[in-house]
């Protein structure tokens, strides 16, 4: 049975691009008699606000999207992420990294549009020092060289059947957790996709760069392989990306302006955009 999920982070109001992503996953599941799930990715406590969760639920309801299971909330599932991290640690696939706060801080959320950070591996060869770990902020990184040696280069299938194999430079020593945060986006995402039997990951093309790392983690953790639909993005007509701080394309603003949410979802699925917006492949 097909299972899709929409996995927003409550760091702002949803915009047109989220509406398309949610509607597309929902439609795929409905067409094939499968399940569509909602997951709130709220692990990055510095950026997420509980108030945005209510807004997300309201917006999705306005679009006419319904769900087949109770909403999954990542901040309530930290034990599962820790278990996965421990199993990677036990196999020597993870090391503590003490690089600057700024290096480490940028790391917990989904890296929209960015290539994986080319971390130079500064801390990879440090001797393991529990005392330093107890007193110093640090994160946990995947030893990607070891991981690739063990699992080989990851590959994945897109929903149209095309098979891709990652290039080595697409995989870095990804951050998996931080001393003060139970899991990064990558780790929580693969653990949750597997726990809810997600078979088709529907998300924007700006998250395609996350797929090699996530496929690698799935192999290492022995998790089932979903297929992927990385869909076109919606931008402003001039090509500028939609940002959560822009007011115009938020679904809340459209609702207040009297737009019909169900009709909007239908037209997005038919490839029609409101005036002032454009499709973009990346």
Complete edge-to-edge strand list for the sheet that includes strand 175-178: 94-97, 139-142, 175-178
Sequence-ordered alpha helix ranges (H) in the chain: 16-31, 50-62, 78-90, 101-105, 130-135, 144-151, 185-195, 211-221, 251-256, 261-269
Instruction: Report if residue 16 touches ligand GLU, rule: CB under 6 A.
Output: no
Tell me if 173 contacts ligand GLU by CB under 6 A.
no
C-beta separation of 36 from 75 below 8 A: no
Q: Mention every residue, 6+ apart, whose C-beta is less than 8 A from residue 111.
A: 117, 185, 207, 209, 210
Tell how strand 175-178 and strand 139-142 pair up.
antiparallel
CB of residue 146 to ligand GLU, shortest distance in Å: 25
Q: Is the separation of the CB atoms in 162 and 182 below 8 Å?
A: no
Provide, rounded to whole angstroms, the least separation between the CB of residue 163 and ligand GLU.
20
Q: Should residue 233 be labelled a site residue for ligand GLU when binding is judged by CB under 6 A?
A: no
DSSP string, 182-223: S--HHHHHHHHHHHTT--EEEEEGGGGGGHHHHHHHHHHHTP
Site string for ligand GLU, 96-135 (x = CB under 6 A): --------------x-------------------------
Which region among 6-14, 59-67, 77-85, 158-166 touches ligand GLU (by CB under 6 A)?
6-14
CB of 105 to ligand GLU, least distance (A): 17
Contact characters 130-169, ligand GLU, x per CB under 6 A: ----------------------------------------
- In terms of Cα–Cα distance, which of 163, 140, 165 is closest to 151? 165
| Under rule CB under 6 A, residue 189 binds ligand GLU | yes
Q: Which is nearer to ligand GLU, 110 or 234 (CB)?
A: 110
Per DSSP bridges, beta strands 139-142 and 163-165 are unpaired
Q: Which of 18/138 has CB closer to ligand GLU?
A: 18
Contact between 44 and ligand GLU by CB under 6 A: the answer reads no
Is the CB of 14 or the CB of 264 nearer to ligand GLU? 14
Q: Which of 8, 12, 17, 154 binds ligand GLU (CB under 6 A)?
A: 8
Map the footprint of ligand GLU across residues 22-41, applying CB under 6 A: 41
- Reading the block at residue 165, the tokens are 């194999």
Question: Rounded to whole angstroms, what are the CA distances from 271 to 25, 26, 205?
Answer: 15, 16, 16
- The answer to whether 203 contacts ligand GLU (rule: CB under 6 A) is yes
**Identity of the residue, 96 or 194, whose beta carbon is nearer to ligand GLU in the bound complex:** 194
Give the shortest CB-84-to-ligand GLU separation in angstroms: 16
What is the closest distance, in whole angstroms, from the C-beta atom of residue 236 to ligand GLU in the complex? 18
Please give the residue ranges that form the binding site for ligand GLU (CB under 6 A).
7-9, 41, 110, 189, 203, 207
């Amino acid at each position: 049975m097909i299972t899709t999920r929409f996995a927003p982070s409550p760091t702002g109001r949803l915009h047109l691009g989220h509406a398309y992503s949610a509607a597309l996953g929902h439609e795929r599941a409905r067409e094939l008699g499968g399940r569509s799930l909602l997951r709130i990715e709220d692990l990055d406590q510095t950026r997420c606000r509980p108030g945005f969760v209510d807004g997300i639920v309201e917006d999705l309801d306005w679009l006419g999207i319904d769900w087949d299971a109770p909403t999954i909330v990542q901040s309530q599932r930290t034990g599962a992420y820790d278990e996965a991290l421990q199993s990677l640690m036990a196999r020597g696939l993870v090391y503590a990294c003490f690089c600057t706060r700024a290096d480490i801080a940028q790391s917990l959320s989904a890296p929209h549009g960015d290539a994986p950070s080319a971390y130079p591996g500064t801390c990879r060869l440090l001797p393991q020092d529990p005392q330093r770990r107890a007193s110093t902020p640090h994160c946990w990184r995947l030893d990607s060289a070891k991981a690739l040696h063990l699992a080989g280069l990851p590959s994945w299938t897109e929903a149209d059947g095309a098979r891709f194999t990652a290039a080595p430079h697409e995989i870095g020593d990804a951050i998996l957790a931080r001393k003060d945060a139970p899991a990064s986006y990558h780790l929580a995402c693969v653990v949750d996709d597997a726990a809810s039997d997600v078979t088709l990951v529907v998300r924007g093309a700006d998250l395609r760069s996350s797929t090699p790392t996530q496929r690698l983690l799935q192999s290492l953790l022995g998790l089932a392989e979903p297929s992927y639909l990385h869909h076109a993005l919606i931008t402003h007509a001039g090509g500028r990306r939609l940002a959560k701080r822009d007011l115009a394309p938020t679904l809340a603003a459209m609702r207040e302006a009297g737009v019909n949410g169900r009709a909007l979802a239908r037209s997005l699925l038919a490839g029609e955009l409101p005036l002032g917006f454009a499709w973009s492949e990346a």
